[in-house]
Amino acid sequence: MPSETAAAEFLSETKDGVLTLTLNRPDALNAMTGTMLKGLAGAVAKAGRDEAVRVVVIAAAGRAFCAGADLGDVRKRLAAGAFEHGDELRDAFNPLILAIRRIEKPVVCAVQGTAAGAGASLALMCDLKVCSADAKFLNAFSKVGLIPDSGMTWLLPRALGLSLALEHAWLSKPVSAEQALAFGLVNQVVPAAELAGAVKKTVDALLCVPPLSLALTKRALNRSLESPSLDDQLEYEAQLQSRLGRSKDHAEGMAAFLEKRAPKFTGE
């Protein structure tokens, strides 16, 4: 059974190499508090160091994935002089986004219903996104006089191009699951009843890939987004390939291919 955090704002379960983190404030549409954000960031970072974890899944309880920041909590803290937007991003939101991008293990997100604001950032910053047909992504920051955050201004122009990114951000125009699939924002859209099964199928496929290959592929592709030149990236690929070429899993993969059998990878 999943183990509850102290505040029960998210649930954590590790089984068969998979860490599942479930947002657990369904009555509040899983709006995120500082406690939830810091707990999730810590759990993801810890998973990166845990050899028993090979894949991380981020899911949510209830009818929505995440409504973003808990605005009621924000308003109370603003009134008490205990909240500053930039500091909150630096202290709570940004560490979670960076943990997801930096962990060298696949992070799969299961999205149902609305993913809004920082909740959309959380979902879309994961490596692979599987969505129910009723999922939609919304940035309503402009309606409260803010800009998209939690990495959204980095992601949107790269994924949509500048014009569509501006339209989405300025006009708070929702992106449906099917539109997100067409834009390349998500990987798969399935009927709501099939979401859990589709996520499991994706995870099972990832568990069949050598862990070091998964890790260094993510590292290389992350780096490519900021690589200064093709020459630079080609050299980086050569360095990583040299490392992988000496691994036991590479030798096993080659042997299994030539012997026409299923490989048995050990992560070495």
Q: How far apart are CA 154 and CA 89, in angstroms?
A: 15
pLDDT band at 7 (very low <50, low <70, confident <90, very high): low
Q: What CATH number has the domain spanning 3-207?
A: 3.90.226.10
Long-range contacts of 188-194 (CB under 8 A, 24+ apart): 188/129, 188/130, 188/131, 189/131, 189/132, 189/133, 189/135, 190/130, 190/131, 190/132, 190/133, 191/132, 191/133, 192/112, 192/132, 192/133, 192/134, 194/132
Residue 16's φ and ψ, nearest 5 degrees, are 50, 40
Residue 66's φ and ψ, nearest 5 degrees, are -170, 130
**Is residue 142 predicted with pLDDT exceeding 60?**
yes
pLDDT band at 1 (very low <50, low <70, confident <90, very high): very low
Burial environment of residue 246 by CB neighbours within 10 A (0 to 12, 13 to 18, 19 or more): exposed
Q: How far apart are CA 140 and CA 67, in angstroms?
A: 10
Residue with tokens 């999922």: 135
Over residues 35-61, the mean pLDDT reads: 96
Residue with tokens 């029960």: 8
**Is residue 4 predicted with pLDDT exceeding 70?**
no
Identify any residues that bridge with 190 across adjacent strands, giving them in sequence order: 132
| Residue 171 near residue 199 (C-beta atoms within 8 A) | no
**Is residue 107 predicted with pLDDT exceeding 50?**
yes
**Ramachandran region of residue 261, left (φ > 0), alpha (ψ -120 to 50) or beta?**
beta
Lowest mean pLDDT: which of 9-18, 76-85, 102-111, 144-153?
A: 76-85
What does the pLDDT read at residue 179? 95
The mean pLDDT value of the chain amounts to 92
Percentage, residues of the chain above pLDDT 70: 97
DSSP state at residue 89 = I
How many CB atoms are located within 10 Å of the residue 112 CB?
A: 22
More confident residue, 74 or 212: 212
What would the pLDDT profile of 168-225 be if each residue is shown by its tens digit? 999 998 999 999 999 999 999 999 999 999 999 999 999 999 999 999 999 999 999 9
What does the pLDDT read at residue 2? 44
| Residue 30 near residue 24 (C-beta atoms within 8 A) | yes
Q: Encode 105-163 in three state secondary structure.
A: CCEEEEECCEEECHHHHHHHCCCEEEEECCCEEECCHHHHCCCCCCCHHHHHHHHHCHH
Percentage, residues of the chain above pLDDT 90: 76
What would the pLDDT profile of 112-122 be if each residue is shown by its tens digit? 999 999 999 99
**Is residue 243 predicted with pLDDT exceeding 90?**
yes
Cα separation values, 251 from 54, 216, 245, Å: 20, 17, 8
Break the chain into its structural domains and give their ranges: 3-207, 211-258
pTM metric for this prediction: 0.92
Of the candidates 110, 106, 101, which has an alpha carbon nearest to the alpha carbon of residue 177?
110
Q: How far apart are CA 64 and CA 115, in angstroms?
A: 7
